[in-house]
Amino acid sequence: MSTPPIDYQALFAATLSPYLVLGPDLVILDVNEAYCRAVRRPRKDLVGRYLFDAFPENPADPDAEGVRNLRVSLHRVLCSGEPEALVVQKYDIPVPDRPGMFEERWGAPTNVPVRGPDGQVAWILHRVDDVTDFVLSHADRLRPDQAPSERQALEAELYVRAQELQRLNEQLRQAHAKERKVAVTLQEAMMRAPDLARHHNIAVRYLPAAKGLNVCGDWYDVADLPDGGFTVAVGDVVGHGLEAAAMGMLRSALSAAVRALQEPAQAMEVLGLYARSVEGALATTAVKAVIDTHRRHITFSSAGHPPPILVRPDGTFVLLDQATDPPLGARPRHLPRPQAALSYSPGETLVLYTDGLVERRGEDIDAGLHRLTDVLAAHARLDPEHVADTLLSRLGVSDGGDDDIALIVVRL
């Protein structure tokens, strides 16, 4: 027995809870009948308008924080992709047909992100549970000389505690933002690549995990070689915290090794041996590619890392997966690491990245690789900076993902 299709638009229109749908630009895309009744305005007055133009701040109540709190919440939902519920807010609304007049309103807003096919937030479902009657009746219920009943005192206490909770949540968010800024600044300082300034054909990106506070374990490196070529590398130390120190040590060791040993397999062998003496460095993955600009070929070696990709201007591509070995320190005894080489033509693009760019929970990594190569094939002729930004945008991680991301895009 087949189930008939559900008309979700009819369900949205019929629900008794007031809802509106916002786009990423906070323009109202749709409202249901319950919302129109709640604000006493027709749908045609709301759809297509910027939310805070349709519902501006009450100029007669400059101390009210409802507009500011809602604006911050909506932008936070857009960035994090996570739903958010606010405690009771005072948010006066314009009185229909009486310009400049506002009606006192209190409500508990909820903002729920809805992702589109590309994984990015395409809409926000905004709902407000109106508690105006309760708040106003609570304010008017007692005379100045009258003691509150137990129930009235409890309601007042709950309301006060809710407001305190909101203030504490805001303080925690601010502390989180400060710690995150310090962490990212430290990470960027650890990943300074002085040689990068001489390569206008290379774009790099580093994005910490969207929810992380710690300096984390992904890195990239760009180093010039004495013969006029250069090398690029990315790596990923498993975990956070102490492993971040391992990241800095391994990155420095690899940078030194590639300058002394230009063969990538030899440099990775040295790094593998060194990793055994660095706490938290075992199971690190890394990939290194040496670009010989005179002979126009790439030599590469990988320690358990996702394969680099060489993209041609016509959109065809090659996965550089012919020289992949286990992660650093994964073998009980030392063995030589493999390397491979291939030629390139001017105008082709080499992309190195860490797994945070392509891995998604509950999904095989091959699906992420397919998405990555599809985007690269469609935008192979863009300059490296635009390729990097397009990858992050189309893969839904412009503001960070579940894991750290390091990315190098080289126009050869």
pLDDT at position 20 is 93
**Cβ proximity of 64 and 88 under 8 Å:** no
pLDDT by residue for the chain (412 residues), tens only, comes to 566 788 888 888 888 888 999 999 999 999 999 999 988 899 999 999 999 898 888 888 877 788 888 898 999 999 888 998 887 788 888 888 788 888 888 888 889 999 998 888 999 999 988 877 777 776 554 444 444 455 555 555 566 566 666 667 777 777 767 766 666 665 666 666 778 888 999 999 988 776 554 455 788 889 888 888 999 999 887 654 445 555 666 667 766 776 777 788 888 888 777 777 766 666 788 899 999 999 999 999 998 899 999 999 999 999 999 988 888 777 767 778 899 999 999 999 999 999 889 988 888 888 999 999 999 999 999 999 999 999 998 998 887 777 788 999 999 9
Q: For the whole model, what pTM was predicted?
A: 0.58
**Cβ proximity of 231 and 264 under 8 Å:** yes
pLDDT at position 124 is 94
The torsion angles phi and psi of 223, rounded to 5 degrees, stand at -140, 130
Digit-coded pLDDT (tens) for 24-51? 999 999 999 999 998 889 999 999 999 9
State the residue for tokens 């400049």: 100
Tokens of 150: 């137990």
State the residue for tokens 């229909």: 96
Amino acid at 207: L
Secondary structure (H, E, C), the chain: CCCCCCCHHHHHHHCCCCEEEECCCCEEEEECHHHHHHHCCCHHHCCCCEHHHHCCCCCCCCCCCHHHHHHHHHHHHHHHCCCEECCCEECCEECCCCCCCEECCEEEEEEEEEECCCCCEEEEEEEEEECHHHHHHHHHCCCCCCCCCHHHHHHHHHHHHHHHHHHHHHHHHHHHHHHHHHHHHHHHHHCCCHHHHHCCCEEEEEECCCCCCCCEEEEEEEEECCCCCEEEEEEEEEEECHHHHHHHHHHHHHHHHHHHCCCHHHHHHHHHHHHCCCCCCCCCEEEEEEEECCCCEEEEEEECCCCCEEECCCCCEEECCCCEECCCCCCCCCCCCCCEEEECCCCCEEEEECHHHCCCCCCCHHHHHHHHHHHHHHCCCCCHHHHHHHHHHHCCCCCCCCCCEEEEEEEC
